[in-house]
Amino acid sequence: MKPWPYPIWLAHRGAGKLAPENTLAAFRLGAGFGFRAFECDVKLSRDGEAFLLHDDTLERTTSGLGSPNNVDWADLARLDAGGWHSAPFAAEPLPTLTRIAAFCQANGCALNIEIKPCPGVERLTGEVAAREAARLWAGAALPPLLSSFSPEALEGARNAAPALPRALLLDTLWDGWAEATVALGVVAVITNWRVMDAALIERLHASGWRALVYTVNDAAVAERLIAEGIDGIITDAVNELGPSC
């Protein structure tokens, strides 16, 4: 296997439990707990801005309505993406990928960009996210790791920025996942922790792929996976697991 430059612990959605997910406030909170690697979800506005949001709609985590795919960035930028979480975070904005890149580079943090397309724009989202990532991290010592559940998004990312490392996300080991992993030219597989075990880690390593998991919030599970040789753990529990604990 090639050297793996990323920290083992990654804060999920920024550090999106104690602060609103996928906001700069969440990244600041995670960095305060000593995290030096983050996962976040990236999708596109109507006019093609790459920004952070998990859901396909705006309702749960912002003051907006409907699909972000139908809204220009100038309007998305005015939404409150923090008030839903708790009053101290009211008026926290949605961040662009550009803003998160600046934070990560200023603080020496690694980033795992999960390409999270709205339905129907998988390839385009992969292309734009990867192109933006290549531009924003040009010349940086540590490139972002691009990941997605969508093979189409990963194909788009590969076409737009072939040099950036990619990972396939798997919630289950669906038929053909190993063949897809080969075809997509990824460097890592990131699974739901429930499907990762010593045998799968060994199989992935034997094929030259790194093995990562999401979302581990239990110390015993983390200890088991570390003993089995896991390469990365994405967690919400930044105040209980990982760097400063």
Rounded Cα distance between 241 and 229, Å, is 17
Assess 92 for contact with Mg ion (CB under 5 A): no
Q: Which is nearer to ligand G3P, 27 or 214 (CB)?
A: 214
Which residue's entry shows tokens 């309505």? 65
Q: Which does 36 bind (CB under 5 to 8 A by kind): ligand G3P, Mg ion, none?
A: none
Assess contact for 41 and 34: CB atoms under 8 A. Answer: no
Rounded CA gap, 162 and 191, in Å?
Answer: 23
Q: Which of 164, 185, 55, 34 is nearest to 112 (CA)?
A: 164
What gap in Å lies between CA 33 and CA 45, rounded to an integer? 31
Answer yes or no: are the C-beta atoms of 130 and 156 closer than 8 Å. yes
CB neighbours of residue 211 within 10 Å: 22
Contact residues for 65 (Cβ-Cβ < 8 A; gap 6+): 57, 58, 59
The binding site for ligand G3P (CB under 6 A) comprises 12, 39, 41, 54, 114, 147, 169, 190, 214, 234
Do the bridges between strand 166-170 and strand 188-192 make them parallel or antiparallel, or are there none, so unpaired?
parallel
Shortest Cβ distance from residue 190 to ligand G3P (Å)?
6
In the complex, the smallest distance separating the C-beta of residue 236 from ligand G3P, rounded to whole angstroms, is 9
Closest to ligand G3P by CB, 190 vs 230, is: 190
Query: 12 an active-site residue?
Result: yes
Q: Which residue number has the CB closest to Mg ion?
A: 114
C-beta of 146: minimal distance to Mg ion in Å? 12
Report the residue number, 153 or 234, with the smaller CB distance to ligand G3P. Answer: 234
Give the residue at shortest CB distance from ligand G3P. 214
Q: Which of 9, 12, 16, 51 is labelled catalytic? A: 12
Catalytic residue among 28, 54, 99, 131: 54
Please report whether residue 41 would count as binding Mg ion according to CB under 5 A.
Answer: yes
**At its nearest, how many Å lie between ligand G3P and the CB of residue 114?**
4
114 binds Mg ion (CB under 5 A): yes
List active site positions. Answer: 12, 54
